[in-house]
Amino acid sequence: MNAVPSTLLQQTDQLSGSVTRPIPGSRKIHVEGSRPDLRVAMREIVQTRTPTLFGGEENPPITVYDPSGPYTDPDVTIDLAAGLAPLRARWIEERGDTEALSALTSAFGRGREHDLKLAHVRFPSRTLPRVAKAGANVTQMHYARRGIVTPEMEYVAIRENQRLELVRDALLRQQHPGEAFGAHIQQVITPEFVRDEIARGRAILPNNINHPESEPMIIGRNFLTKINANIGNSAVSSGIAEEVEKLVWSIRWGGDTVMDLSTGKHIHETREWIIRNSPVPIGTVPIYQALEKVDGRAEELTWEIFRDTLIEQAEQGVDYFTIHAGVLLRYVPLTAKRVTGIVSRGGSIMAKWCLAHHRESFLYEHFEDICEIMKAYDVAFSLGDGLRPGCIADANDAAQFGELETLGELTKIAWKHDIQTMIEGPGHVPMQLIKENMDKQLRECGEAPFYTLGPLTTDIAPGYDHITSAIGAAMIGWYGTAMLCYVTPKEHLGLPNREDVRDGIMAYKIAAHAADLAKGHPGAQVRDNALSKARFEFRWQDQFHLGLDPEKAEAFHDETLPKDAHKAAHFCSMCGPNFCSMKITQDVREYAAEHGVDTGDALAAGMAEKSEEFRAQGAEVYRPG
Amino acid sequence: MNAVPSTLLQQTDQLSGSVTRPIPGSRKIHVEGSRPDLRVAMREIVQTRTPTLFGGEENPPITVYDPSGPYTDPDVTIDLAAGLAPLRARWIEERGDTEALSALTSAFGRGREHDLKLAHVRFPSRTLPRVAKAGANVTQMHYARRGIVTPEMEYVAIRENQRLELVRDALLRQQHPGEAFGAHIQQVITPEFVRDEIARGRAILPNNINHPESEPMIIGRNFLTKINANIGNSAVSSGIAEEVEKLVWSIRWGGDTVMDLSTGKHIHETREWIIRNSPVPIGTVPIYQALEKVDGRAEELTWEIFRDTLIEQAEQGVDYFTIHAGVLLRYVPLTAKRVTGIVSRGGSIMAKWCLAHHRESFLYEHFEDICEIMKAYDVAFSLGDGLRPGCIADANDAAQFGELETLGELTKIAWKHDIQTMIEGPGHVPMQLIKENMDKQLRECGEAPFYTLGPLTTDIAPGYDHITSAIGAAMIGWYGTAMLCYVTPKEHLGLPNREDVRDGIMAYKIAAHAADLAKGHPGAQVRDNALSKARFEFRWQDQFHLGLDPEKAEAFHDETLPKDAHKAAHFCSMCGPNFCSMKITQDVREYAAEHGVDTGDALAAGMAEKSEEFRAQGAEVYRPG
């Protein structure tokens, strides 16, 4: 093991302290599957009893989906320099179709490994990666198509159900019918359904065999809507410790996957620290690093450099690669009259390359060679939308939709190799044009999962683009997008800091949950119902704990009513004690009870009778006299 | 004139300084109508020239809608203790159908006027109000139905057009076709169209004859989508100076109307300060004050107390009243099994009254008497949704929709009296149930403007309900809602402070503008196009200035790249100089130009040729060799 410089370790020690405090009101639980080493992590929110005034009943704990990993588990000791426990290692080894390498395959990776100048930033506990045995295909899609239900698939099935079977209270179970636009929403997710969806290509389970630390999760429109958080340093700002901090911070607030978009120095080492400490799938855009290797001169990129980069990253454990293989030569001129041209970094790099060489890109020409790499590690494709619109004016244009059609063709090639594939989408799109994006994606790409950035529904709010885009994200999630890539308030302006990351994730957790409610995912409304019941009964702490951000909710409440006594107050600062409508509603019920009508049926009956009397008397708006 | 205590004046002096600084990059302009005293206030955002690298052309100033009033006009000296200039006074007097009172009509108002203990908080420059002459109806709807185009209507027409006729640049003028769901969107708003819409009841122009300081604006789905900001102290917090500050702050960021929901002491005096200093229409919920007059005991409310309150507020100049006349006895038991019962304060007050008296409310029984008051001052109805759902579970239920049907009946009665009327809507509604609200409202209420709170699309995000609700607001605005009532991050938790008000307004400006884009309002996309062009050309200052919040955009940018030189940088902190996709796109264009193809048609032609060549060679993904 390499020696780790004390400064970096101290930094990471500090970080782990600040982001691993327990989430207020919650406890970590694990639901065991068909084998003892299959323990699905969830979060349980404990509720207090209803005040006697309102009935005095017990309120059941509410189970919620939890991507925060071991960081919020008080039973786990976190050691960032050691990395997380490789919970999937045994499952991978058991399959017998992979082998440990004796050296890194990537020339660049080997070079970094032996560079003494990097000792101070290198992850200290690195083990050698695995690779598929000769001729083997180790993707979850390959297993699925052969009818195999892997432990990963079972994990996902248990995880998606969120122990809904334990919720028996009728009030909590009530839910409006959804409108799913043709999605196949299940009442109960079975491991077999997970397998079938992966086999069809309608869902992906991104989990590189070299990222055994990851807790399996699934991306597909027949499952809960997921969100991605982007982190990553740049040449201008931030370092390794800060990025690991952002990773842990992101998943604490609910990020389901994290993309490492680093472009600065130590990109390789930063990625290693992130993956070794990440319980969620990590995505990257390998062309960013490839471009660094040619000092930013896009036209000097080659297939060989790119190939070595893919292998370098696949052997580190990256779970999905954004690959902009759909940027074809003939689409580039279609962007010339756009208001904002090409705004995807990857897209513009490839466009520049195509123009410089007057030929299709090596990504397109070597697409099947890329598939061979993907299947040897089970890296999923995230087919990049390099020509996505960068402003409202450019939405749904010929360049964007041309590329989408090509992504559909590439999806079919990837599927021929049993490579898990999702498709990236826009961007900036006004509301009336959003559904066309979803419909076309489903049609062109055979229902492969859609993974969209926003879309932003207007261009005029720099500083608030988490909101302009949460509107579009909620809508496209409802229409069928499987994963929503977050946008922070700093979009277009600067690099997000911690609070920006939190704001971006919250906006996207809201969008994703609003989409789940609208699609009618079973049990999606349980948490809303529980929180609303708590609100109605003035159970302030339960209301905070059931919310997406308990810490902020409590802090906001305390700004106006800081005293502890007010946590039990039957009013809030909005209206004061005499004007609280919730309190008045309680008075209404009490009044009704005193006068011989009870809540519920009795009240309804009693009032219906009075109402009948009233109508029998004429029911006129203006009675004589 | 009464003496004003120095403390209050000092407070208001301080306030006016902090919220009246010019909006960066903007200047106030006035567009003159058919008479010299008809000068429509707008804001013009000045742009810089395009850098030579990108073409070097001039960029025209962009005109935007501006509700901020004289506060952002450097030519106006603000004196809060004197109030704003009464710009409509002459128009009102000219019509000859009103007269000045010799004393306040309301007994309560007279009492406050002569209470020495109130001298220290009383607005010092109060003049006596006006009222319709006996038998006269002074509503804009009454004039409209008689074919009269008032100066107010002309003002609105000029204002809505935003000088779109000056925008000639094809890039700026481009706009996607909208989907207006049956709205009658005009290419140009004429005074006659305004008159016709008001006459039909499809729009309202709220402007009490006793609020001559207001700049006319219109609320209707065939006009730009508007937003409302709520302010108001409560028994728990805040005072007069703080509320006036919030008013000016709200309109600075774009609030089109402001509701004063004060419930604490000095409610009458606070309102006077607000109205005298407000260039936007002010709405209230008179039942709140009436309840204070009976010490919070809802069952002791009487028609006489309520009537006196209506007149008191009408003579102060309130422009629209929320009246919960649709809470009928027979609907109350329909709420008994709800998760959160009745959450509207007004609704719960009236429900309690109905139950206590076993009869329909005085609001319902005296509805035509209320109309008589409204028409004497031109106060508009905002028919309150007292039974709106307070959580996702309760959305679109029998109580809510029953009340909406009654509001439809009341609309027709109001229209019989030529009273301008809008309808309040929910609340908490999951996305898939939003459109049903809009469709039913249009059907039941004869296309009277809909005015909704959110709706919030999930209950699980206390602390972020400006976002949960901006999603619903954008959608229902698209479907046809005319005005969106903002929700701040403090909703459900506490009273909003200044920053919360700003966040709430920004979220709603975004929702309203996204709705305008989606409906296809002419010119709605001009600002998006201008901002995106500035973004593409690295005109950072123009990008900030064209945004909804120039100050925040610049502050965010400067967090990462604080140096002035970076304001002219052709990259941003997101990606650094080598990775900026915008820069690479420029490189693409330059490269193309150097190689004999130019941007635009030439580039398209050149590339199409190359592309043809490519396809002629086989256009295969994997060419042999």
Task: Tell whether the torsion through CA atoms of B198, B201, B204 and B206 is positive or negative.
Answer: positive
Distance from CA of B14 to the nearest CA of A (A): 23
Instruction: Please count the other Cβ atoms lying within 10 Å of the Cβ belonging to residue A57.
Output: 11
Predicted complex: ipTM over 0.90:
yes
How many contacts, defined by CB atoms under 8 Å, are there between A and B?
519
Which residues does chain B have within 8 Å of residue A430's beta carbon, measured at their own beta carbons?
176, 514, 517-518, 525
User: B416-419 — which CB contacts under 8 Å span 24+ positions?
Assistant: B416/B371, B417/B137, B417/B368, B417/B371, B417/B372, B417/B374, B417/B375, B418/B137, B418/B139, B418/B141, B418/B142, B418/B145, B418/B375, B419/B139, B419/B141, B419/B371, B419/B374, B419/B375, B419/B380, B419/B381
- Closest Cα in chain B, distance from residue A293 (Å): 12
Residue A242: predicted pLDDT: 81
| Whether pLDDT at A599 is above 70 | no
| B-chain residue closest to A345, CA distance | B581
Which residues on neighbouring strands pair with residue A507, listed in sequence order? none
The answer to whether the peptide bond before residue B455 is cis (omega within 30 degrees of 0) is yes
Helices (H), B29-79: none
pLDDT interval class at A563 (50, 70, 90): low
Q: How far is residue B535's CA from residue A391's CA, in Å, rounded to a whole number?
A: 10
pLDDT at A1 over 80: no
Compute the average pLDDT of residues A268-275: 94
pLDDT at position B449 over 80:
yes
E runs forming strands in A191-339: 203-204, 219-220, 226-231, 257-260, 282-284, 320-323
Instruction: Measure CB to CB from residue A348 to each of B235, B585, B615 and give the nearest one.
Output: B585
pLDDT attached to residue A49: 97
Residues A33/A136, Cβ–Cβ less than 8 Å: no
- Annotated binding-site positions of B: 230, 259, 288, 324, 344-346, 385-388, 424, 428, 451, 492, 572, 575, 580
Does residue B111 carry a pLDDT above 90?
yes
Q: Is the peptide bond before A427 cis (omega within 30 degrees of 0)?
A: yes
Find the CB nearest B333 among A461, A533, A604. A604
Predicted pLDDT of residue B385: 97
Supply the pLDDT for residue A278. Answer: 97
pLDDT of B337: 87
DSSP assignment letter at B419:
-
Structure-derived torsion over alpha carbons of residues A559, A562, A568, A572, reported in degrees to the nearest 10: -40
The answer to whether the Cβ–Cβ distance between A467 and B467 falls below 8 Å is: yes
Lowest mean pLDDT among B114-123, B303-312, B481-490: B114-123
- SS3 (DSSP) at A597: coil
CA B241 to chain centre: 22
Among B364, B579, B617, the strongest candidate for a mutation testing the A interface, having the largest count of A CBs within 10 A, is B579
* Residue B45, Ramachandran bin (φ over 0: left; ψ between -120 and 50: alpha; else beta): beta
Which segments of B are annotated as binding site for substrate?
A: 230, 259, 288, 324, 344-346, 385-388, 424, 451
Kindly report the pTM of this predicted structure: 0.93
CB contact under 8 A, A535 and B391: yes
Helix B267-276 / helix B240-253 crossing angle, nearest 10 deg: 40
- Looking up tokens 């993907």, which residue turns up? A374
DSSP code at position B51: P
- pLDDT at position A9: 53
User: Poorest-confidence range of A402-411, B350-359, B525-534, B572-581?
Assistant: B572-581
Q: Which amino acid is at B505?
A: I
Gap between the Cα atoms of A591 and A594, Å rounded: 5
DSSP-based three-state secondary structure for A31? strand
DSSP state of A105: S
Work out the average pLDDT over B270-277: 95
Average per-residue pLDDT for chain A: 89
**A313 neighbors A287 (Cβ within 8 angstroms):** no
What pLDDT sits at residue B609? 47
Using the structure block, give the residue that is written with the tokens 């009658």: B184
pLDDT at position B11 is 55
The pLDDT of residue B574? 46
pLDDT for A592 equals: 56
Average pLDDT in the B14-21 region?
66
In this predicted structure, the answer to whether residue B572 has a pLDDT above a threshold of 60 is no
Q: Is the pLDDT of residue B3 over 60?
A: no
pLDDT at B486 over 50: yes
The reported pLDDT for the residue numbered B584 is: 61
Give the Cβ contact number of residue A10 at 10 Å: 11
Beta-carbon-side half-sphere exposure of residue A411 (alpha carbons within 13 Å): 28
pLDDT band at A262 (very low <50, low <70, confident <90, very high): confident
Mean pLDDT across the stretch A513-523? 97
CA distance B542 to A430: 22
**Mean confidence (pLDDT) of chain B:** 89
> In this predicted structure, which of A323-327, B78-82, B442-446, B515-519 has the lowest mean pLDDT?
B78-82
CB A12 within 8 A of CB A246: no
Predicted pLDDT of residue B164: 97
Place of tokens 């309190």: A583
> Is residue B130 scored above 90 in pLDDT?
yes
- Residues B131-152, mean pLDDT to the nearest whole number: 98
Give the pLDDT confidence of B19-77 residue by residue, as tens digits: 778 899 999 999 999 999 999 999 999 999 999 877 899 999 999 999 999 999 989 98
Give yes or no for residue B560 having a pLDDT over 80: no
Task: Please give the pLDDT value at position B564.
Answer: 58
Beta-strand ranges (E) seen in B190-264 are: 203-204, 219-220, 226-231, 257-260
Q: What is the pLDDT of residues A195-241, one digit of tens each?
A: 999 999 999 999 999 999 999 999 999 999 999 999 987 554 457 77
Which pLDDT value is given to residue A7? 56
CA distances from B410 to B267, B310, B318, B337 (A): 29, 18, 21, 27
Residues on chain B touching A589 (C-beta within 8 angstroms): 336, 341
Interface test with B, best of A172, A179, A585 (most B CBs within 10 A): A585
**A295, A342, A387, A459: best to mutate for the B interface, most B CBs within 10 A:** A459
Would the pLDDT of A515 be above 80? yes
Report the pLDDT value the prediction gives residue B52, as an integer from 0 to 100: 86
Distance in angstroms (rounded) separating the CA atoms of residues A32 and A45: 19
pLDDT of residue B613 exceeding 50, the answer is no
Of B263, B469, B91, B478, whose CA–CA distance to A467 is shortest? B469
CA distance A343 to A386: 8
Rounded percentage of chain B residues whose pLDDT exceeds 90: 76
Whether pLDDT at B619 is above 90: no
